[in-house]
Copies of this chain bind each other. A is one copy, B any other.
């Protein structure tokens, strides 16, 4: 669950201007140098964003609306400091300033962000230098202790908070809406079944799950497909919640929730499944993950990885990475292949469920807004705004194609008892 970078005013300014302030220069000085000062600032900002049909309104009433046609939404910048920060590094400061209420959006927040995304020149989402350095510099970002901290930062902020706006099964990944009008509850069950059908689970088989959330998939597989599950997760709150659910359902002899890193999983299984964990793994660890999967599968083993992804490799939005999801790194398909290709695993099927994530986020955002009072009672106003931006920005990212959702099914290279067609996924 992420948001795309929403602006980076380097590209269209010509003359190879570096959009990020060098370390020796303040953001203010940099912005003044590149964009000038006074009323030109918002106009330059719009230009740099590819002239989206939005309006920028400043604290003193000054505004810019390049296209001339009626804009759908306006960004209100409440002080000069916020504007200069925004210009110096919009990828990070839009989120910070919005959270603090120093930037606001008048009109539909999702529509505003989506409009900006859709006008951005292609390839604007990444930070190439960071990307190039990633294979060398990122190893520690996903070490086991660091991964534990990353995950707790997001998932251990209170199950009650997530219960306010997730479905009743507590599935915090995209649903599957074969009928677009179906409820979120039904779509999450449909997703669990879609995954189980892809895995072709048989009663009595064994499954290992890496990153099990609040336990919905593990319990669903055990209850409806008669399999035994070992489920790994490093979020303490999620593990405690999941174990209680298993006991309540009388499934605790069939489903074991293990509070440990996926890298420590042991044993051999009929199926490997991971829904929404890969985003936290880091591309540099994909070959390790692939080797681990290969070791953990029996000869007839097959698997499925479900992950947010991208159409081309790029780095994470720095605000999301700092404030919402430390260590997050949704991969492109070529990056995902670094799991399978070195490991002797054969990709059988890839399905892109991007629009299903957009639909899921519509439901989450609607429920979140309906629960805004309850969230306000739990957290400070900045938290409420930050999570609103995160959900709205993620919805805009999936609608605009800045984010994708890949389900990848696989088996060992050369194993021939694989499905002959995908017709079995569409029964019932």
Contacts and interface: CB of A to CB of B under 8 A. Distances in A.
Interface stretch (A166-174, A220-228, A336-344): A336-344
Interface string A65-90: 00000000000000000000000000
A312 B341 contact: yes
Given A178-B421, A180-B420, A332-B337, A349 B346 contact: no
Contact of A341 (B332, B341, B413, B420): B332
A413 B401 contact: yes
A400 B354 CA distance: 34
User: Chain A contact residues: over half helix, strand or loop, or mixed?
Assistant: mixed
A347 B338 contact: no
Copy number in this complex?
Answer: 2
Contacts of A334: 333-334, 337-338, 341
Given A178-B423, A334-B337, 19 more contacts: A122-B413, A311-B345, A311-B413, A312-B344, A332-B337, A332-B341, A333-B333, A333-B334, A333-B341, A334-B338, A346-B352, A348-B352, A351-B422, A355-B416, A356-B420, A401-B412, A401-B413, A402-B414, A422-B422
Interface of A: 117-118, 122-123, 177-178, 180, 311-313, 332-334, 337-338, 340-342, 344-352, 354-356, 399-402, 404, 412-416, 418, 420-423, 425-426
29 contacts: A122-B344, A123-B344, A178-B420, A180-B420, A311-B340, A311-B347, A312-B341, A332-B337, A332-B341, A333-B333, A333-B341, A334-B338, A337-B337, A346-B352, A346-B354, A349-B350, A349-B352, A350-B350, A355-B418, A355-B420, A356-B420, A399-B416, A400-B414, A401-B412, A401-B414, A401-B415, A402-B414, A423-B426, A426-B426
